[in-house]
Structure 1
Amino acid sequence: MTDTTDMIASTDANGTSAVVLTEIRGDAGIMTLNRPRVRNALNLELREAMQSALESFDAEPSVAVIVLTGAGGNFCSGRDLRAVAAGEPMYSGRPAQLAAFTRVSVRKPVIAAIEGYALAGGFELALSCDLLVASREAVFGLPEVRRNLVAIGGGLIRLPQRMPYHLAMQLVLTGEHVGARRLAEAGVVTELAEPGAALETALALAERIAANGPSAVRASKEIVRRAFEWSGESEAFDAQLAVAEPALSSPDREEGVRAFLERRDPVWTDR
């Protein structure tokens, strides 16, 4: 497929740079947070543009995997405290909050490609993704306690699910920064990249995922994420069947088996 670039949009009607840039490269939809002067801090405009771009990519058949990154050498420094001080809300209303990516994700796999800082809400945004690729020099942290704030964007819930309990507790109670290598050792960061190469490394990972059956990938993602919701293995075994059924009844199931027997690459249609 021909690569395309489609901004939301690169500039607005007044010539101002957009806060989210989007591009389709191969099978991957790339979203770039674009407030580099404030290390891509999250204000209401950026949250809404990001949600819109995620939903658009999730509905786009040509996109198999979504990659989320940041402009200007940083991923995201968290919530824009100047916007907070000015009285700006985090979301436009309760429905937007309940539908936000940091709370419910999307159907397709999302990879965070992280350079520089991923702090506070930026770290929580990364933890909302399914896979984390980070520069060896990237820096993470939940420093909210240093300002008598609480990380209510999912970090306190997800971090102890993804790394040892006591290490997670130390990070959230001290508010200290931690490097990408340490998080890779703890299993939070999926792959380490050389500085400046996080996006290309994430795109290579995206292509490996995109080679697989799309409906099976979507079902597998949902089952893994919902496994934490189900109470015990017995419920999980029954509950996963409904999630897997669309993939198992898809024409791509027959195509996958037939391609294996014919020793060729499968041609997926259930995008």
Structure 2
Amino acid sequence: MTDPAVVQVRAVGPILQVTLDRPHKRNAVDPAMTSGLEAAFTRLESDPALRVCVLAATGDYFCAGSDLVLGAGPHTAEGGQYGMIRRSRSKPLVAAVDGPALGGGFEMVLAADLVVASRTAWFTLPEGARGRLPAAGGLLRAPARLPRNVAVEMMLTGTRLEAVRAHELGLVNRLAEPGEVLRAAYELALATTASAPESVAQILRGLERTEEPAEKLGWAVTSDAMAVLLGSAGRTEGTAAFVERRTPAWAIGAEERSAILDATDDPHTPAER
């Protein structure tokens, strides 16, 4: 059952606006949100009056990914993770990102067909710092949507990708000023209605079929990797460190990091043989 305090859904003409509304938790996905997203995207596909979806969020964050305490709930039959990550759609999805999108939140963006972002928004894949990996499509979709080296750096270091840079790299279709993202997303959503619904559906289905072999392999690899990490000490420590708001035990401390970097300035440091 959809909790209106977690997922808000409204139809505005041919646009279905789906809004993540858990701002006190940075819109982290819990079981109720997954259920709400599943219901919303089912409505999108089943209602012929609806032709496009805009996914937005309330508060300062677009989405911080899965709730590491409550979990995101089980994968749904139609949408997989979060009720939408692996859903087959015949109608376009526009992500309206007016704040940071972390982990699974960025993977929601990667699942969209079109992206509008605030100039101050940013994206990260920080799962490695928590003993995990980007399991909601990031492992396969980030290198497909971005230059490989950029995606690898994001996954291995948790570095931020600023929206302006993401626009330069082609991930973000349109940039907007903070507070103006939703309107810009609506404009782009309405632009898609210039094409016939049947044409839009076949374009999306065609893209899905073209990408299917790589996606199938990518999901299998993701599943295998997650199985290895599931009971690992790294995952346990990473989750504990996140909940306790501390640095994981494996992380290199600031003093040691500084010493390592300082060593590069010492011309007398002997090389290892």
Normalising by the smaller structure, the TM-score range is 0.7 to 0.9
Compute the TM-score of the two structures, normalised by the length of structure 2.
0.73
Alpha-carbon distance between aligned partners in 2 of 1:28 and 1:55, rounded to the nearest angstrom: 14
- Report if the CA contact (8 A) 1:183-1:189 is conserved: yes
What letter is aligned with 1:229? Answer: E
Change in Cα spacing, 1:28 to 1:40, as seen in structure 2 (3 Å) is same
Shift of 1:177: 1.4
Q: SS of 1:207's equivalent?
A: helix
Matched with 1:28 is 15
Q: How does 1:117-196 map to 2 (within 5 A)?
A: 117-196=100-179
Deviations 1:24-51 (A, max 9, x none): 1122110001101111100111011111
Q: SS of 1:187's equivalent?
A: coil
Q: SS of 2:94's equivalent?
A: strand
**Farther-moved stretch of structure 1 (147-156 vs 91-100):** 91-100
Matched with 1:74 is 61
Structure 2 alignment gaps of length 5 or more: 215-273
Deviations 1:108-164 (A, max 9, x none): 100000011110000001111111110010010000011111111001100111111
**Farther-moved stretch of structure 1 (144-153 vs 95-104):** 95-104
Structure 1 alignment gaps of length 5 or more: 1-6, 11-17, 232-271
Change in Cα spacing, 1:123 to 1:143, as seen in structure 2 (3 Å) is same
Alpha-carbon distance between aligned partners in 1 of 2:27 and 2:130, rounded to the nearest angstrom: 20
Matched with 1:220 is 203
For the aligned residue pairs, the C-alpha RMSD in angstroms reads 2.2
Which structure has the bigger radius of gyration?
Answer: 2
Shift of 1:106: 2.0
Matched with 2:34 is 47
Compute the TM-score of the two structures, normalised by the length of structure 1.
0.74
Deviations 1:59-111 (A, max 9, x none): 11111100001111321111111214xxxx63167787389420134221000
